[in-house]
Amino acid sequence: MQLRGVRIAGVARHAPARIVTNEDFERWLDTSDEWITTRTGMKRRHWAADDEATSDLAIVAARGALARAGLRPDDIDCFVVATATPDYIFPATACIVAAKLGAVGKPAFDISIACSGFIYGLTVASGLVRSGVYRRVLLVGAETLSKITNKDDRSTAILFGDGAGAVVLEACDADADSFLSAELGADGSSPETLFQEAGGSRRPFDHAAVDAGLGYIQMEGREVFKFAVTSMVAATDVALAKAELTRHDINFLIPHQANRRIIDAAVRVLEVPPEKVLVNIQEYGNTSSASIPMALAEAVEAGRVQDGDVVLFVGFGAGLSWGAVVWRWSALRSVA
């Protein structure tokens, strides 16, 4: 099969209006701004309204990415949503997003790999474009983690936020290909390290499950922390090697925003200067599969990534799972 190139034609982000600060938590939890700031780097996060679902956030980000690309929903051949907090267990949230954008009939599916969702999604969607299956794919990372977080559990309540980031991927000449390499991985031998226990087939929802709080995120924070740093560094090194590049070739790094200390530790090992790393965890907390595309949109809006830059996307999450994509940035079309 003749491979061609893929590029990002448009990128945008959206966060719901409600902002919850560290000080807000002090009102009902035994916690403090000082603890949250020093342990996580977070200051604020956005939470969706009661009547706001993941698809609602995804659609706003998707419309923004389409506008920046100068395209209409009709121009998209396939819709992909990476999310751990879909509107429903089924149908896929991507079907709802495509329909609400007015693209009924186009293929649409979700990717469920938690915080690694955008990295996996970028790999899969790029593959669809580069192999010639589709000319344009809309990929959205979107989450409403606040809906599955126990607000009375200080060890998780403070960590998660809601948001969406969208990219339009489109075919281009092979010699302008942005996709340089990917390294993905998963280890499902201990799913309970980070999971939502009830609601699936192993533990369907019933009153007892709800009463025991099994619909909420449960996490062994220290275990995740240790795994996060090593997996991000290892995935980066393998992805760079596949692209025949080294750590020093990274012009800009966009990590999953789970904890400032995790990012700092990984960046230290990788020897990437802090000014080449996008960190916005202070504003949004951990938005899971939305964190990397939201950060990319911010970097592009601020002019922090330049044409030709080698951009590294790297993340990890429930599964456990991890991944890195090496991407050569090409300027967006100048339509918006």
Return the structure tokens found at 95.
């079907």
Residues 142 to 161 in contact with ligand ACO, rule: CB under 6 A? 154-155, 158
Part in contact with ligand ACO (CB under 6 A); list of ranges 31-39, 119-127, 196-204, 241-249: 31-39
Task: Kindly state whether residue 259 participates in binding ligand ACO, applying the rule CB under 6 A.
Answer: yes
Residue number, 97 or 114, with CB nearest to ligand ACO:
114
To the query of whether residue 286 is one of the catalytic residues in this protein, the response is yes
The window from 183-191, 205-213, 221-229, 263-271 that contacts ligand ACO (CB under 6 A) reads 221-229
Tokens representing 322 are 């991890």
Over the chain, what HEC string results? CCCCEEEEEEEEEECCCEEEEHHHHHCCCCCCHHHHHHHHCCCEEEECCCCCCHHHHHHHHHHHHHHHHCCCHHHCCEEEEECCCCCCCCCCHHHHHHHHCCCCCCCEEEECCHHHHHHHHHHHHHHHHHCCCCCEEEEEEEEEHHHHCCCCCHHHHCCECEEEEEEEEEEECHHHCCEEEEEEEECCCCHHHEEECCCCCCCCCCHHHHHCCCCCEEECHHHHHHHHHHHHHHHHHHHHHHCCCCHHHCCEEEECCCCHHHHHHHHHHHCCCHHHECCCHHHHCECHHHHHHHHHHHHHHCCCCCCCCEEEEEEEECCCEEEEEEEECCCCCCCC
Please, which residue, 259 or 330, has the CB nearer to ligand ACO?
259
Q: Is 256 a catalytic residue?
A: yes
Nearer to ligand ACO, 161 or 317 (CB): 317
Interacting residue with ligand ACO among 19, 31, 185, 230 (CB under 6 A): 31
Q: CB of residue 213 vs ligand ACO: minimum separation in angstroms?
A: 16
Q: Is 225 in the site for ligand ACO (CB under 6 A)?
A: yes
Angle at 3 between CA 248 and CA 242, to 5 degrees: 25
Q: Examine residue 141 and tell whether it contacts ligand ACO (CB under 6 A).
A: no
Nearer to ligand ACO, 8 or 115 (CB): 115
Q: How far is the CB of 38 from ligand ACO (least distance, A)?
A: 9
Helix axes 221-242, 260-270, angle to 10 degrees: 30
Asked if the bond preceding 91 is cis, omega within 30° of 0, the reply is yes
One character per residue 170-199, x = contact with ligand ACO (rule: CB under 6 A): ------------------------x-----
Judge whether 115 counts as a catalytic residue: yes
Q: Which stretch binds ligand ACO (CB under 6 A): 182-190, 232-240, 242-250, 255-263?
A: 255-263
114 binds ligand ACO (CB under 6 A): yes
221 touches ligand ACO (CB under 6 A): yes
The single residue of 14, 22, 95, 115 carrying the catalytic annotation is 115
Binding of ligand ACO at residue 9 (CB under 6 A)?
no
53 binds ligand ACO (CB under 6 A): no
| Binder among 115, 142, 239, 324 for ligand ACO (CB under 6 A) | 115
Q: How many residues does the chain have?
A: 336
The residues carrying an active-site annotation are 115, 256, 286
Write out the residues near ligand ACO by the rule CB under 6 A.
31, 35-36, 39-40, 114-115, 154-155, 158, 194, 219, 221-222, 224-225, 228, 258-259, 262, 286, 288, 317-318
